[in-house]
Amino acid sequence: MSIRFIESEQRFVLETRQTTYQIKIDKTGCLRHVYYGKRVGDTDMDYLYRTTDRGFSGNPYEFQDDRTCSFDTMPQEYPTFGVGDYRVSALRCLAKNGSRSTDLRYASYEIREGKYKLEGLPYVRGGDEKVETLFIRLKDSVTGIAVDLMYGVFEEKDVITRSACIRNESQETVILQKAASMCLDIPYGADDLISFNGRHCMERQPFRQRLGQNIVTVGSKRGMSSHHNNPFVILCDAETTEDSGESRGVMLMYSGSHKEEIEKDQAGTVRLVAGIQDEGFSWILDPGDIFWTPEAILSFSFDGLNGLSANYHRIIRENVCDPMFRNKRRPVLLNSWEASYFSFNEKTIYELAVQAKDLGADMLVLDDGWFGSRDSDNSGLGDWTVNEQKLKGGLTALSDKVHDLGLQFGLWIEPEMVNENSDLYRMHPDWALSDPGRKPNVARNQLVLDMSREDVREYLFSCINALLKESRIEYLKWDFNRSPANIYSHLLPPEKQGEVMHRFVLGVYSLLARIREAYPEVLIEGCAGGGGRFDAGMLFYTPQIWCSDNTDPIARLFIQEGTSYGYPACTVGSHVSASPNHQTGRTTPLSTRGIVASSGILGYELNPASLSDAEKGEIRAQIETYKKYEHLIREGTYYRLKENHSGAETVCWAFVSPEKDEALVNLVSVNVAAKTPFPHIKLKGLREDAVYMIDRTGLRTTGAALMYGGCSFDIPEGDYPCTQLHLTEIPG
């Protein structure tokens, strides 16, 4: 049993392979957090909780004689607003009489085999492995609000999922003003916060900061998980490095506006509350209504940040992404966007397909510009029928011709958007989010459709259904190119406008779920101007995501490395593009572009007609190599490696097979210098006593030698050179 209730101590023990999580029902009936850390079994960790009378930290009425008893100093599982815990709260409700206080006390519990699901929201799938769920019900006897806290324990994977389900069991309407998914109180050992911040074309850059006695907020108000602040944070010890020390992660499985608040309080306890962004949010909970909060994925590692990443990679690969694509090699594609942008016709696209085939790719993807009046990014969104002036003969004929070449065919769509200059907008202006009497904010000249509306979703399903029915399409690129504003639905009454942003996200999920159900074999690649919605919520429906609009391999080194803290390489769409690069103007060798793009799901995004024969030959070899090592990239353990010796600036990473009998090591130098020492790296994750051979050098030596002594690299001369080593175990 990975979940136990120790009745005599009113204590829950949740156990994974390496961790123990303990919760206690306090004498006040409050659900107190006791411990999350290295496995300690049933040992009561409550001794760690020291109480004292801290001034200005009041006491629950029934314990007024015990001034050491305070919600304000107690580590809690789901703190509420208004009753004496002055730290960040997880739940804020407005009762009909105007009261904003909620006081949740323990009511009951249940332990079940298997993993709970969430209604209308993505969740970590249970699969075949051993998973148990703990439900703990809390209730406020005054407002009648009940909260079911849910814990999914993935024992083998060192992961605990959390979510809260809020029910109105009273006779009166209650308004939710904040409904977070979880709270984690950490009395000791969370010195640093790492968040993943950035911007369009430079997503998920790790930012590590020392916590002080204040509140740090990470989050997005953009209606999308955002390029700017990913819904994934890590709390770790000051000493934690890539390879040693404790770290715990919290990843919200949500694609809309989110908020992670990290507060260090007067006693040094660190509280982390994560959930839906509460700014602009409110939700009317009528009697009998239920509100489901998105799931949070928690993991703990004692093997540094690389260990934590490995935990997240595994759970995302095996339990978040659709099992249908888990062990499937993804197609190497040639995408038309950077090859021709909006200027193409059926002949040029067919020519691209011929070239793609010649290079050894598996699929041709027709990106933006194929529909409606879409000759630029100013018009056409919403009109999802082919522009026959551009593509004579239509999509079906084109797709058939591409298939005749022996290639698959993929198509770009951006369903959630509309241009004012489109038939759809002319017919249904009220389908766009916009405030009454106010000109809407525009971005890329487009507006956002009101995905909370069923008629909008129905229209979009019928368009996508027609496309997939009429033409042979094996892949959709699902784009989203602006942050929503003017969050107002013309269908909902005034008092429900605070629900629109979350209803929008639920609408997107339900449309995606419907398409997945109708066309399970169609692979959808998520995209939001690159990686603006790179989150576990989208990955539930779209097992790969276009990682960034920045295809410069040197920028990508850092974007992909930042992404790797939470997300596995098998989710990262990554393309070789032209040099000089279209986003940065930087010139890089084709080999480096190939190695960087091959560390995700490889694709190409250039016009092969502009390449020399030698370059085409190199690309053929790249694709062949990629296909040879693809299993390692998809399923191997990923390691961020550090080169500390030569003074040359390098980025280095490796994939090691689950059996540890094979590894692929990549190194890119980002700054040339003359006559530097050989870059030297200690490899990770090999078997000490196994003997490996390095393909490039022919060196045969043990895993112990390569991990503790390391190996040195030859770097070719010139700008941004790279090296790739492949290691295989020599059977002993």
Pattern 381-420, binding to ligand DGJ, x per CB under 6 A? -------------------------------x--------
- Judged by CB under 6 A, the stretch of 15-23, 86-94, 151-159, 525-533 that binds ligand DGJ is 525-533
- Judged by CB under 6 A, the stretch of 149-157, 321-329, 489-497, 527-535 that binds ligand DGJ is 527-535
Burial annotation 324-340 (CB, 10 A radius, 16+ → b, else e): ebeeeebbbbbbbbbbb
Pattern 320-349, binding to ligand DGJ, x per CB under 6 A? -----------------x------------
Question: Is residue 311 packed enough to be buried (19+ CB in 10 Å), middle (13-18) or exposed (0-12)?
Answer: buried
How far apart are CB 210 and ligand DGJ at their closest, in Å?
Answer: 35
Q: Which of 15, 474, 535, 643 is catalytic?
A: 535
Closest residue to bound ligand DGJ by CB: 368
Q: Are strands 192-199 and 202-210 parallel, antiparallel or unpaired?
A: antiparallel
- In angstroms, the Cα distances linking 261 to 84, 145, 258, 421, 497 are 18, 23, 10, 41, 24
Hey, which bits of 648-687 come out as E strands? 650-656, 662-669, 680-681
Q: Is 535 a catalytic residue?
A: yes
- Residue 604 interacts with ligand DGJ (CB under 6 A): yes or no: no
- Residue 573 interacts with ligand DGJ (CB under 6 A): yes or no: no
**Of 368, 416, 450, 525, which one interacts with ligand DGJ (CB under 6 A)?**
368
**Of 256, 275, 529, 721, which one interacts with ligand DGJ (CB under 6 A)?**
529
- In angstroms, the Cα distances linking 320 to 129, 273, 312, 608, 619 are 14, 22, 10, 35, 32
Q: Rounded CA gap, 248 and 673, in Å?
A: 38
Q: Are strands 270-276 and 19-25 parallel, antiparallel or unpaired?
A: unpaired
Pattern 532-561, binding to ligand DGJ, x per CB under 6 A? --------------x--x------------
Residues 109, 114, 119, 124, CA torsion sign? positive
Q: Which is nearer to ligand DGJ, 203 or 263 (CB)?
A: 203
- Residue 479 interacts with ligand DGJ (CB under 6 A): yes or no: yes
Q: Rounded CA gap, 639 and 634, in Å?
A: 13
How far apart are CB 366 and ligand DGJ at their closest, in Å?
Answer: 10
- Judged by CB under 6 A, the stretch of 47-55, 120-128, 512-520, 526-534 that binds ligand DGJ is 526-534
Q: Which of 351, 377, 615, 630 is catalytic?
A: 615
303 close to 244: Cβ distance less than 8 angstroms? yes
**Omega prior to 580 cis, within 30 of 0:** yes
Q: Which is nearer to ligand DGJ, 121 or 201 (CB)?
A: 201
How far apart are CB 619 and ligand DGJ at their closest, in Å?
Answer: 20
- Judged by CB under 6 A, the stretch of 524-532, 578-586, 672-680, 717-725 that binds ligand DGJ is 524-532
Q: Rounded CA gap, 453 and 436, in Å?
A: 17
**Of 481, 571, 588, 646, which one interacts with ligand DGJ (CB under 6 A)?**
481
- Residue 293 interacts with ligand DGJ (CB under 6 A): yes or no: no
142 close to 56: Cβ distance less than 8 angstroms? no
How far apart are CB 559 and ligand DGJ at their closest, in Å?
Answer: 13
H or E stretch at 181? strand 174-186
Q: Is 615 a catalytic residue?
A: yes
14 close to 161: Cβ distance less than 8 angstroms? no
Give the residue numbers marked as catalytic: 535, 615
Q: Which residues bind ligand DGJ (CB under 6 A)?
A: 337, 367-368, 377, 412, 479, 481, 527, 529-530, 546, 549
